[in-house]
Amino acid sequence: MKILILEDENAKFQAIESVIQGMDYCIETKRVVNLNSYISTINREKFDLIIADLMVPRFKDSTDSENVTESIIDETRDHACRNFRTPVIVITQFDEAAEESFKGLNQKDIVIVTYNESNIDWKESLQRKLESSIPEVSYDFIIFCALQKEADAFVELGYVSDPSEKILSSLKCTEIEINSKKGVIVTLSRMGLVSAAITVTKAIEKFKPNIVAMSGICAGIDGKANIYDVIIPSVCHQHDSGKWTSEGFIPELYDVPLAHAAEVYIDTSIKKESFKKFVKSDITLGRSEFPEGCENLEFSIKLAPTSSGSAVVASEEMTYSIMEQHRKKTAFEMESYALYEAARVSQNPPLFFSAKAVVDNGTITKSDSFHRVACLLSAKVVYKLLEDWN
C-alpha cells in the first residue's frame, strides 16, 4: 500500500506515521511539506491513499502556512490527475478551517477529521480509512504446498528473495517472483483434501491468479514410478470417494483432467532434454538419500493419471485397491485432486497443475530419507514450468 502525506509539522506527521505503522500491513509512505510538491507528486505517482493538512506552505521556501483547501480539491479531483479516484482524508488541527471547508470537501468525497493530540478520535477515523483503502492483492500465480518442508525447498533453491512469511487473509504466504511474474507460495494449515480445497478456493478468490500449481511429495505405484520420479497428474480423482456396503467399498470416481492447452505445454516441456538437465542440476545427495542400488540421482518426469485421498496410505492392500481403479495410475497423495477441482469450478478458473516427487510406494516401509531431495525436484519442475509459461 502506498500513501502520500501532505504535512509540514513534524510532531503531527510523526503521530500520523505512528498510526500507519501500527497497521498489520506493508505500507510505504511518502511525505511532502508544501502545496507545490504535493501537486507535482499527485500528477507523477499513483497512491492508494492521500492524507493531507489544509494549512501548509504553498511553496518550497515559504514558512508561512495558509489555507490551501481549494487547491487541494481542484488539483486532486481534476480528471487529468493520476489520483483522481484515490481516497483522501484531511486531518487538520484548525477547527475554523475544518468548518469552512467541510462542504466543499464533502462534495468531492474527501473525508475531514479534526486533529487533537490529546484525543484518540482522529486516530480511529484514520485507522478506518486505512483499512478501507487497502488495495486488493493479486498475484500472477500461486504455488500450494501441503507441508512446510515442501515450501522450504523453494527457499533452499534460492528462488525466494525474502523468505519471511506473511499472513494474508489468514493464509500463510511467502512471496516469490519468477521471470518477472509475481507469485506467492501458500502453505496449507494441514495435509488433506478438505484443508487443501478450502485453502485453494480461498486463495483463488482472494488473489485472482492466472495459474495455480502444487509442489511436494507423493507415493508411487510399483512398476509405474520409482523413487524421485516427478509425477504431474494428467487426470486426477479422489480414490476414497464412494460408498461402503456390507460387501465392501464401492468407488465413485469423478476425474478432473488438465486443460488441453496446459497438458500440451507441460508434455512438450518435460520431454526436452534441457528441462530435465535444469531440474537435475545443483542437487547434491547425502549417503542416506540414495535409493537402494543407486549411485547417482536418477528420475523421470511423467505426465500420468493419479489420485488423492483423505488419509495417509501405508498398506499394500490399500495400495492395490487404489491401483486397480485405473490401469495407468502412476501415483497417489492427499491434495492434488482438491487443487484441480477447486480451480475447475472457481468463478474465474485459472490454469492448474501439480508436480510431486515419489518418496515411497504406499506400504509400511515408509521413510523420510527421500523427502528433502523429492521436495527440491518437485519445486524445480514447478519453477521451470512457470518460468517458461506464456
Q: What is the pLDDT of residue 245?
A: 85
Dihedral of the alpha carbons of 215, 220, 224, 226, in degrees to the nearest 10: 80
Q: What is the mean pLDDT of residues 13-33?
A: 91
Domain that residue 123 falls in:
2-133
The pLDDT tens digits of the residues spanning 119-141 come to 888 999 999 999 899 888 899 99
Same domain, 191 and 216: yes
| Percent of the chain's residues with pLDDT above 70 | 94
The last residue of a domain, from among 133, 167, 188: 133
Q: Are 187 and 151 in contact (CB under 8 A)?
A: yes
Same domain, 107 and 57: yes
pLDDT for residue 234 is more than 70: yes
Q: What is the pLDDT of residue 317?
A: 67
Same domain, 69 and 103: yes
Same domain, 80 and 129: yes
- Alpha-carbon distance values, 22 to 26, 75, 87, 123, 235 (Å): 10, 30, 20, 11, 47
The pLDDT tens digits of the residues spanning 171-182 come to 999 999 999 999
Q: What is the pLDDT of residue 242?
A: 79
Q: Are 252 and 258 in contact (CB under 8 A)?
A: no
| Structure confidence at residue 365 as a pLDDT band (50, 70, 90) | low
Q: What is the pLDDT of residue 112?
A: 87
Cell of 181: 511474474
DSSP state of 287: G
pLDDT for residue 364 is more than 70: no
Q: What is the pLDDT of residue 98?
A: 60
Same domain, 99 and 179: no
Same domain, 57 and 103: yes
Same domain, 60 and 83: yes
Q: What is the pLDDT of residue 339?
A: 98
Task: Report how many domains make up the chain.
Answer: 2
Higher pLDDT, 328 or 28: 28
91-95, 166-170, 230-234, 304-308: least confidently modelled range: 91-95
pLDDT for residue 107 is more than 90: no
Same domain, 155 and 128: no
The last residue of a domain, from among 81, 102, 133: 133
Q: What is the pLDDT of residue 320?
A: 66
Q: What is the mean pLDDT of residues 324-335?
A: 84
Same domain, 47 and 100: yes
Same domain, 171 and 221: yes
CA distance 155 to 228: 20
Cell of 210: 492466472
The last residue of a domain, from among 133, 153, 181: 133
Q: What is the pLDDT of residue 272?
A: 97
What's the pTM value of the predicted model, to 2 decimals? 0.74
Q: Are 183 and 203 in contact (CB under 8 A)?
A: no
CATH number, position 380: 3.40.50.1580
Q: What is the pLDDT of residue 384?
A: 98
Q: What is the pLDDT of residue 252?
A: 83
The pLDDT tens digits of the residues spanning 212-229 come to 999 999 999 988 999 999
pLDDT for residue 315 is more than 80: no
Dihedral of the alpha carbons of 255, 256, 257, 260, in degrees to the nearest 10: 140
pLDDT for residue 269 is more than 90: yes
CATH number, position 8: 3.40.50.2300
Same domain, 125 and 152: no
Q: What is the pLDDT of residue 103?
A: 73
Q: What is the mean pLDDT of residues 30-40?
A: 96
Same domain, 100 and 188: no
